[in-house]
């Protein structure tokens, strides 16, 4: 166990103001909100908080414990178990650098909700506004979301005196946790609203307009802030809309680019000429004419720059890539065979048919 003064990076002769400044600096540096998914930073945040809790108490700091005693106290099983307890205990201090002043009790927040939304390929490419139905808890209008019957009001919880937190001893430490009686609400309702049964909210099915921007892709999620469930006396959760985009056989999407496979005859590929291709214009029903060069080989591509899928919430578009698939006919008429043989002769190709061992033509 490290020396607690060393943890806070202060001298043993430091004042209470020096301690607070040191803890303020370390807590801001290692707070989980500033270091998401960093277990090492969270551990340092807890270590600094436990050290500050002990050293900020003059009696524990000087009179009752020496250095060894401080180590023993910190190792005796006391201290903070999680970040929520720390924020509750030092709420005013954290309020200074996380916006506003904290009351020591976090504002409740309603649950987030999820809905799934089906989109056609053109709707995903060019955007659309669609309706979704969602059942969620909303604030009860009868009691103005208080949960108390009209004409009455919630009373402060007697267990925590309306603070939503209770303090209890744990080893050498005083630990602040959520009140078990009111579950952190800080109040109790003696005469509950009959409409919402004291919950302050009740379920409601609503139809919401969801604006889907152009360029979204399958599996992406839109967040509608404040459209989730209500929390009486707190913030409303969010609604997450998961998008499911149908495919289109004419277009294969790769990011913001689209691949279009165009079958062409071997004669067209050989001689070249104009070719009409599908495009994303006109709600994915457009066409455009391109010039295919003579001697185009199977697998060659033609790129239409800036004619792909629009970039989400940005200007510009991806590309459309035209892939030529040269088709060879399996059956030819007698006249077509004659012409092909003449062409083969002209090109110096050998096309005589061979007979097998039993006289059958191959």
pLDDT recorded at residue 294: 92
Report the distance separating Cα 143 and Cα 128, nearest Å: 38
Report the distance separating Cα 69 and Cα 60, nearest Å: 9
Return the beta strands (E) in the chain as ranges: 113-119, 128-139, 155-156, 165-170, 173-178, 187-188, 201-212, 221-224, 239-245, 252-254, 257-265, 273-279, 286-292, 301-304, 320-327
Per residue in 269-319, pLDDT (tens digit) is 989 999 999 999 999 999 999 999 999 999 999 999 999 999 998 889 999
- Region 252-347: CATH code: 2.60.260.20
Domain ranges of the chain: 4-97, 107-151+193-247, 155-188, 252-347
Residue 174 pLDDT > 80, yes or no? no
Residue 106 pLDDT > 60, yes or no? no
- Region 107-151+193-247: CATH code: 2.60.260.20
Identical fold between 4-97 and 107-151+193-247: no
Residue 118 pLDDT > 90, yes or no? yes
Confidence of residue 63 (pLDDT cuts 50, 70, 90): very low
Highest mean pLDDT among 52-56, 69-73, 194-198, 228-232: 194-198
Q: Has this prediction a pTM greater than 0.75?
A: no
pLDDT recorded at residue 337: 83
Superfamily in which the 4-97 domain is placed by CATH: DnaJ domain (1.10.287.110)
Higher pLDDT, 361 or 55: 55
Residue 322 pLDDT > 90, yes or no? yes
């Amino acid at each position: 166990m490290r020396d607690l003064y060393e943890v806070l990076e202060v001298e043993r002769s430091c004042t209470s103001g020096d301690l607070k400044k040191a803890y303020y600096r370390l807590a801001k540096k290692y707070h989980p909100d500033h270091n998401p998914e960093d277990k090492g930073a969270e551990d340092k945040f807890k270590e600094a908080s436990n050290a500050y809790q002990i050293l900020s108490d003059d009696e524990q700091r000087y009179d009752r414990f020496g250095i060894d005693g401080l180590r023993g106290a910190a190792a005796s099983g006391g201290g903070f178990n999680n970040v929520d307890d720390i924020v509750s205990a030092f709420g005013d201090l954290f309020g200074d650098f996380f916006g506003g002043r904290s009351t020591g009790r976090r504002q409740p927040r309603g649950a987030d909700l999820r809905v799934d939304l089906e989109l056609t390929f053109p709707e995903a490419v060019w955007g659309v506004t669609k309706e979704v139905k969602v059942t969620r808890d909303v604030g009860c209008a009868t009691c103005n979301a208080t949960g108390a019957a009209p004409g009455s009001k919630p009373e402060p919880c007697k267990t925590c005196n309306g603070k939503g937190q209770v303090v209890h001893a744990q080893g050498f430490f005083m630990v602040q946790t959520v009140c078990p009686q009111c579950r952190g609400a800080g109040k109790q309702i003696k005469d509950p609203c009959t409409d919402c049964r004291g919950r302050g909210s009740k379920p409601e099915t609503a139809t919401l307009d969801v604006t889907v921007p152009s360029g979204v892709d399958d599996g992406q999620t839109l967040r509608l802030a404040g459209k989730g469930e209500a929390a009486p006396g707190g913030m409303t959760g969010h609604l997450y809309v998961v998008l499911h985009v149908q495919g289109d056989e004419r277009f294969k999407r790769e990011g913001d680019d689209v691949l279009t496979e165009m079958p062409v005859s071997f004669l067209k590929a050989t001689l070249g000429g104009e070719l009409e291709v599908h495009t994303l214009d006109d709600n994915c029903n457009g066409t455009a004419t391109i010039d295919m060069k003579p001697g185009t080989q199977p697998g060659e591509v033609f790129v239409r720059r800036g004619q792909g899928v629009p970039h989400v919430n940005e200007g510009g578009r991806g590309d459309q890539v035209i892939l030529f698939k040269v088709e060879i006919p399996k059956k030819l008429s007698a006249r077509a065979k004659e012409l092909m043989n003449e062409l083969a002769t002209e090109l110096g190709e050998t096309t005589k048919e061979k007979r097998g061992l039993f006289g059958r033509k191959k």
